[in-house]
Structure 1
Amino acid sequence: MNRAELSLSDEAIERLVRLHSGGAGAAERMDFLRWRGLSMDHERAAREAEALWGALPETRHAEDYRRRVRRPRRWLALAAAACVAAIAITIALPEPLAGLYSDYATRTGERRMLELADGSRVWLNSDSALSVDFSPQQRRLRLHSGEALFEVAKDAARPFIVEARGGEVRAVGTRFDVDSRGPQVRVDVTEGVVQVNSAGSEPVRLSAGERLSYREAAAPEPVQPLDLSSASAWQRGKLIFNQRPLGEVLDELERYVPGRIVLTDNALRQHKVSGVFDLKDPDALLKTLERLQPVKVTHMPWLVLIRPAPKA
């Protein structure tokens, strides 16, 4: 980034802080709109400042900022440092926070295979937490957060039940994936048959090659077809994308890297991405995106900015 770009970034940050100080009125907002419309570089600087403001919660306290710092570069450094410190504390723990009450947990970027007492196997994806409670009557597991792939040993006398966000997935002998990263739980079946119960609705049976999503306290969505060639590719150490929107690709990649990935231009979210990428080298995916997509990747402490590539 050259000196002129740094100056515009500083000015954009300073203007944005003034707008969020609590004392800005219509005149200041119109002035900011006029400023960002002066050129594409001004607009780019404004969008990056807005992305940083949203990505680092500490930066929203503008009044506190005015008391503590005077120069925008110093403000940015302090905000980034606060974010780094918070993340560092979490990483320093022996397991993620969910690990405090779960039997098994993985950190960001870590994947782990578990051999259960009944012979079943579980693969935990990045930043996931799981508890196991086996009894003579049933095999019950709880996915507190994240994603897990289950390869179930057959035992007709003891159903295999996975709880996730108010729903249950039941299987006898099968292979299925449960993804509970957000408010919506996704169930993918790659072998056998499972039964999904959620929100008191009628149970839904899923066969190999089918996918279902549900939300807590809501009826499940319609069953969708599942691409078996790319399903649970993470368990094999791969990310496979076939004409997936860039926004979805970055959301998926973010779970394997520390910190945040922020796309500063929403117009880029729908750009299609295809390819097979190695989870051992997430940075290679970013480098490939920079080479094949109209984007510029900027690495910062615990933050990766994806912005439109400057025109030649």
Structure 2
Amino acid sequence: MTRPNPSQPSPVELEDQAIEQWVMLMSGNASESDHAAFRQWRQRSPAHEAAARLAEQMWHGVAQTATAQSFVPPAPQRRAKPLRWAALAAGLAVLAVTQLGQPMKVYMADQSTAVGERRHLVLEDGSEVWLNSASALSVRYSSTRRDIDLIKGEALFQVSKNPARPFVVHAAAGTAQALGTRFDVNLLEQQVRVGVSEGVVQVTSGGQSARLEPAQQLDYAQGLPPSSTRPLDLTSDSAWQRGKLIFNRRPLDEVVSEIGRYVPGALVVTGQLPSTAVSGVFNLDDGAQMFSTLARTQPLRVVQLPWLTLVMNRESVEEK
């Protein structure tokens, strides 16, 4: 039986080497000898060539994202950075664009959580809020109203009843008004999902309103009317409070976005993801492992660099 050669790099190690070299070659600091060395490197074996093609595709895929389109690269430096630091700089560049693209309200929010952090809050009227990972909100209370601005992320509300002071959550130009209830508002970019565990919530967006009863949910996008209501799985909806994510046949692209909330740095999805459904339970205490598990069970290729996670359709990668 042929034993593995311990000196032969694994496919993952080859991919890391290819990514580091490709970032350096694209940095503006590479010489002709650097390009020649990379051509020789990729010719060493079919595995080297496959890793080189993956690095090239990944680079071009990132360039097509909105984040990369808005990024202005720095002027080339006279001294090239070491390869590993070049890869780190690329990840931080994308992260910087992602963070700078957030509304200033995120930095001025009354309450916020870091990636991986969850927090329980008690408001002045006794209402309770559970703030999910990478989330932010501000509180605007008056003698006649209780307004909450959900600026980023997800929050679960347990509202103290007070008909004289409506409790209204604002997100993406829409509102969710509680009538003494427990409900969740999940804001991902400009898409909002509202789910009700107890009581009744009236959701208004795009000039139209919809009523949510217990164990119902709906979505709305900024400026558009609410969707039709559909059943809400109460067990999976509140699982993040217990440190779990539970998916029951959720679309893959939604699962990737949800998991990305718990991973530090920028999440970049290149190309169209497969239209598959995901079912499973994930532990929120290890975001990187969640993506590794997803890559093993779904047709995805995931590359995790410092402060940057790239997600690609595995089938499109293999076709190259």
Q: Answer yes or no: same fold by TM over 0.5.
A: yes
Q: Which amino acid aligns with 1:170?
A: Q
In the aligned structure 1, how far is the partner of 2:253 from the partner of 2:124? Answer: 40
Q: Is the 8 A contact 2:119 2:130 kept in 1?
A: yes
In the aligned structure 2, how far is the partner of 1:59 from the partner of 1:71? Answer: 24
In the aligned structure 1, how far is the partner of 2:137 from the partner of 2:218? Answer: 21
Q: Which amino acid aligns with 2:109?
A: S
Which fold has the larger relative contact order, with Cα–Cα distance below 8 Å and residues 6 or more apart in sequence? 2
In the aligned structure 2, how far is the partner of 1:248 from the partner of 1:125? Answer: 16
In the aligned structure 2, how far is the partner of 1:233 from the partner of 1:213? Answer: 19
2:155 matched residue in structure 1: 148
Q: Any idea what the Cα deviations from partners look like across 1:203-250, whole Å, max 9, x if unmatched?
A: 311101211222232222222222222113212221111233433222
1:279 matched residue in structure 2: 284
1:57 has 2:68 as partner: yes
Q: Is the 8 A contact 1:111 1:125 kept in 2?
A: yes
The alpha-carbon distance between structure 1 residues 116 and 69, as it changes in their structure 2 partners (threshold 3 A), is same
The alpha-carbon distance between structure 1 residues 50 and 71, as it changes in their structure 2 partners (threshold 3 A), is farther
The alpha-carbon distance between structure 1 residues 135 and 12, as it changes in their structure 2 partners (threshold 3 A), is closer
Q: Is the 8 A contact 1:183 1:216 kept in 2?
A: yes
The match for 2:234 among 225, 228, 235 is: 228
In the aligned structure 2, how far is the partner of 1:184 from the partner of 1:10? Answer: 37
Residue 185 (structure 1) shift: 1.8
In the aligned structure 1, how far is the partner of 2:145 from the partner of 2:300? Answer: 51
In the aligned structure 2, how far is the partner of 1:59 from the partner of 1:204? Answer: 37
SS at match of 1:221: coil
In the aligned structure 2, how far is the partner of 1:8 from the partner of 1:162? Answer: 44
In the aligned structure 2, how far is the partner of 1:293 from the partner of 1:70? Answer: 38
Q: Any idea what the Cα deviations from partners look like across 1:52-109, whole Å, max 9, x if unmatched?
A: 44577399657944x757799589447426528848x98xxxxx95354322111222
Fraction of identical pairs, as percent = 43
1:173 has 2:183 as partner: no
Residue 130 (structure 1) shift: 1.5
In the aligned structure 2, how far is the partner of 1:149 from the partner of 1:118? Answer: 16
2:167 matched residue in structure 1: 160
Q: Is the 8 A contact 1:108 1:126 kept in 2?
A: yes
The match for 1:301 among 290, 293, 306 is: 306
The alpha-carbon distance between structure 1 residues 211 and 6, as it changes in their structure 2 partners (threshold 3 A), is same
In the aligned structure 1, how far is the partner of 2:289 from the partner of 2:74? Answer: 40
Q: Is the 8 A contact 2:204 2:225 kept in 1?
A: no
1:117 has 2:127 as partner: no
Q: Give the count of matched residue pairs.
A: 282
Q: Which amino acid aligns with 2:60?
A: E
Residue 157 (structure 1) shift: 2.5
Residue 150 (structure 1) shift: 0.5
Q: Any idea what the Cα deviations from partners look like across 1:256-281, whole Å, max 9, x if unmatched?
A: 11113445564x53344321112122
Q: Is the 8 A contact 2:15 2:54 kept in 1?
A: no
1:27 matched residue in structure 2: none
1:33 matched residue in structure 2: none
1:26 matched residue in structure 2: none
The alpha-carbon distance between structure 1 residues 250 and 116, as it changes in their structure 2 partners (threshold 3 A), is same
Query: TM-score normalized by structure 2?
Result: 0.72
Q: Which amino acid aligns with 1:200?
A: G
Q: Any idea what the Cα deviations from partners look like across 1:166-214, whole Å, max 9, x if unmatched?
A: 222111211111122311222111111111122322x311101211222
Q: Which runs of 5+ in 2 are unaligned?
A: 1-11, 29-48
1:128 has 2:138 as partner: no
**RMSD (CA atoms):** 3.9
1:237 has 2:240 as partner: no
The alpha-carbon distance between structure 1 residues 6 and 175, as it changes in their structure 2 partners (threshold 3 A), is same
In the aligned structure 2, how far is the partner of 1:77 from the partner of 1:235? Answer: 35
Q: Is the 8 A contact 1:16 1:49 kept in 2?
A: no
Q: Which amino acid aligns with 2:290?
A: L
Query: TM-score normalized by structure 1?
Result: 0.73
Map 1:96-115 to 2 at 5 A.
98-115=105-122
1:288 has 2:298 as partner: no
Q: Is the 8 A contact 1:98 1:105 kept in 2?
A: no
Q: Is the 8 A contact 1:10 1:72 kept in 2?
A: no
1:216 has 2:195 as partner: no
2:57 matched residue in structure 1: 47
In the aligned structure 2, how far is the partner of 1:210 from the partner of 1:145? Answer: 22
2:93 matched residue in structure 1: 83
